[in-house]
């Protein structure tokens, strides 16, 4: 009797997909219900579970919209031009990302890049200094020095990093414009402005090539990823950004970590400045200053936290790509520059809110 009762009871219940029992349901109804559930797609699996997941959906959305609005958007040449034009933004973003990981922020990178590129160009114009490797090495050294000065001032004065770096940006850019009178330099060494063919390839009977700026971006992205993910120093960078006081207690020299992070951004600023001159063929003192918002937005959209300790290199590159396709797509469909700024700002706000929504839900504490 006991076994029969248990068997009868078993047929009166069926287990739903969520694991809850459904009493007073016949076995046939249970089978039909389970069949309907199994035949329906589980849309919950498509829900992104990370900031990069949300960013991927946003990217796909805009790619679909702009490809339908303009036949040229998904052309190989347009995509290559897009990658070339935003390679400098990507280089700056990768440098800024390392600083954000440590919990800091630096707004002076564009001014540093402008000063470095003008300095290298002046060496050639006035002193005929035409050594490519020495010039590149000197530029990187100068950029690194400016970054380390920022880190030293932040640590020594114990002032919020954004205050120091905004002051440095204003100081460097003001000195540059005052000392040069805003004059551009056009007589540059051949190694700096001669366009080079890198990785040519064919597609549908046409020949294309990956430009040097894109190749530099990919190399820097690889180096940054190895630094942050495969080295002890990278783990220390994340630890300082996660909790600087705890990192200090376990023996991490927080000041030196900040010195390295800001120095890294200074080096990336110098490289980005050199690449920008390579693309434009001239040195314009105010060409880079003013684009800091795009760089900061790209890193934050990519999942980097302004509080530190979060983010990935791939996410940063995706953030740069989102800014690039948004501006390029709006330009192809004929949107005015003024309205473009409104749309870009709105999308940045929405994307940041979406990418941080899950984190906010996880940190909310309810006592009800």
Q: What is the pLDDT of residue 41?
A: 46
d(CA 315, CA 54): 11
202 — pLDDT class (breaks 50, 70, 90): confident
Which class in CATH covers the domain with range 51-351? Answer: mainly alpha
Residue 78: C-alpha distances to residues 82, 87, 228, 240 (Å): 6, 14, 32, 41
Instruction: Judge whether 77 and 340 are in contact, CB under 8 Å.
Output: no
Residue 39 pLDDT > 60: no
Q: What is the pLDDT of residue 49?
A: 60
Averaged over 143-167, what is the pLDDT? 95
- The residue that leads in pLDDT, 234 or 30, is 234
What tokens were used for 129? Answer: 């200094």
d(CA 58, CA 48): 11
pTM (predicted TM-score): 0.82
In 264-287, which positions are buried (b, 16+ CB within 10 angstroms) versus exposed (e)?
Answer: bbbbbbbbbbbbbbbeeeebbbeb
Q: What is the pLDDT of residue 183?
A: 94
Mean pLDDT (the chain) is 83
Residues 6+ apart with CB under 8 A from 169: 107, 108, 110, 111, 289
Q: What is the pLDDT of residue 37?
A: 44
Residues 6+ apart with CB under 8 A from 117: 139, 273, 274, 276, 277, 283
How many residues are given for the chain? Answer: 368
> Model confidence over 311-321: pLDDT tens digits?
999 999 999 99
> Is residue 33 exposed (0-12), middle (13-18) or buried (19+ Cβ within 10 Å)?
middle
With H, G, I as helix, E, B as strand and everything else as coil, classify residue 26: coil
d(CA 164, CA 158): 10
Residue 100 pLDDT > 70: yes
Averaged over 237-265, what is the pLDDT? 95
CA 323 to centroid of chain Cα atoms: 10
Closest to 220 (Cα-Cα) out of 277, 281, 273, 264: 264
Instruction: Judge whether 135 and 120 are in contact, CB under 8 Å.
Output: yes
Flag the least confident range among 25-39, 133-147, 164-178, 319-333: 25-39
């Amino acid at each position: 009797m006991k076994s029969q009762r248990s068997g009868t009871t078993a047929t009166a219940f069926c287990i739903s997909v969520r694991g809850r029992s459904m009493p007073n349901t016949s076995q046939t109804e249970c089978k039909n219900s389970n069949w309907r559930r199994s035949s329906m797609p589980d849309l919950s699996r498509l829900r992104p579970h990370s900031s990069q997941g949300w960013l991927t959906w946003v990217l796909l959305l805009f790619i679909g919209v702009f490809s339908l609005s303009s036949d040229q958007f998904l052309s190989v040449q347009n995509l290559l031009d897009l990658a070339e034009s935003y390679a400098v933004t990507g280089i700056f973003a990768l440098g800024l990302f390392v600083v954000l990981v440590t919990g800091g922020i630096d707004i002076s990178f564009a001014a540093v890049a402008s000063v470095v590129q003008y300095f290298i160009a002046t060496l050639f114009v006035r002193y005929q200094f035409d050594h490519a490797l020495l010039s590149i090495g000197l530029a990187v050294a100068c950029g690194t020095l400016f970054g380390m000065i920022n880190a030293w001032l932040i640590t020594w004065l114990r002032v919020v990093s954004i205050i120091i770096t905004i002051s440095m940006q204003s100081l460097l850019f003001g000195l540059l414009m005052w000392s040069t009178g805003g004059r551009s330099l056009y007589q540059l060494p051949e190694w700096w402005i001669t366009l080079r063919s890198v990785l040519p390839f064919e597609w549908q009977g046409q020949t294309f090539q990956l430009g040097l700026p894109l190749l530099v971006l990919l190399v820097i992205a690889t180096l940054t990823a190895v630094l942050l993910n495969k080295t002890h120093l990278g783990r220390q960078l994340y630890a300082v950004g996660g909790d600087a006081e705890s990192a200090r207690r376990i023996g991490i020299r927080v000041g030196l970590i900040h010195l390295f992070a800001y120095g890294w951004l200074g080096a990336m600023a110098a490289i980005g400045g050199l690449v920008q001159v390579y693309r434009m063929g001239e040195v314009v003192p105010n060409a880079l200053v003013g684009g800091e918002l795009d760089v900061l937005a790209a890193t934050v959209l990519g999942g980097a936290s302004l509080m530190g300790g979060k983010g990935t290199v791939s996410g940063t590159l995706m953030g740069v790509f989102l800014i690039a396709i948004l501006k390029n797509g709006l330009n192809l469909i004929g949107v005015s520059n003024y309205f473009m700024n409104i749309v870009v700002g709105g999308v940045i706000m929405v994307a940041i809110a979406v990418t941080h929504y899950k984190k906010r839900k996880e940190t909310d504490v309810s006592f009800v």
